[in-house]
Amino acid sequence: MGYRIFLAGGSGAIGRRLIPQLLAAGHQVTASTRQAAKAEDLRKLGADPVVVDVFDRAGLRDAVAATRPEIVIHQLTDLPAGLDPSRMGEAIAGNARIRDEGTSNLVDAAKAAGARRLIAQSIAWAYAPGAEPHAETDPLDSDAEGGRAVSVGGVIALERHVLEASPMTGIVLRYGHLYGPGTGTDTGADPALHVDAAAYAALLAVEKGAQGAFNVAEPSDHVTTDKAARELAWDAGFRLAK
């Protein structure tokens, strides 16, 4: 059985690898982008594109409501191409704003549209210092300082918005450092994650997984991914055929 899905951030690295997987599974996909120039790319992938800014609360609510989604997937980020170091300082603040204000707006829109499940991208390297590998029950680094404090603060806000979005089921995917097509790198720092496997976790979470957080990364000493393997049947080795 296919679902009506609203994918926020469809033109990002994960979104472009997720749309084909969702369509192959029989789902109907409306995918958003902030840039009109990217709408045609989404259409070519097979999604119905919509141009909307996540900070336009009313516009976002209207865009989501028009699709009557059963599932909303949050893959929004604000990162420079290739993670350009000269632009990362500005990007950290922009990304934190998306994670907090943007997620709040998306939760509001998803609730108003009657969605029953919300799946959101988080990160697997925001844990507080402590014994490793980190499980999902370990605390996040709320005492971080400097740029890390901005980033982790955004993560904490995002996860709170998603996990407190009752009556929707909220699922947070704590992704490792992405690599692969569209990410600008062929290798990822630990905890690493291929972009196809990241998208695959979101596909699986459409139908599987109880409310909560899931570490989604390749095996390492930093985080344990037993929960994702057990509850989502997720496989870190998943790759698209092309």
Which sequence spans correspond to the domains of the chain?
4-232
pLDDT reported for residue 79: 60
Superfamily of domain 4-232: NAD(P)-binding Rossmann-like Domain (3.40.50.720)
pLDDT reported for residue 242: 74
State which H helix or E strand residue 201 sits in.
helix 195-205
pLDDT, averaged per 10 consecutive residues of the chain (242 residues), comes to: 95 96 98 95 97 97 98 86 53 90 98 98 97 98 95 97 97 96 90 97 96 97 97 97 81
Under a CB-based contact definition with an 8 Å cutoff, are residues 97 and 156 in contact? no
* DSSP symbols for 119-181: EEEEESS-BPS-SSSBPTTSPB-TT--HHHHHHHHHHHHHHHHHHT-TTSEEEEEEE-EEEBT
Distance CA 169, CA 164 (A): 9
pLDDT reported for residue 92: 86
* Interaxial angle between packed helices 57-67 and 103-113, expressed in degrees from 0 to 180 and rounded to the nearest 10: 40
pLDDT reported for residue 93: 87
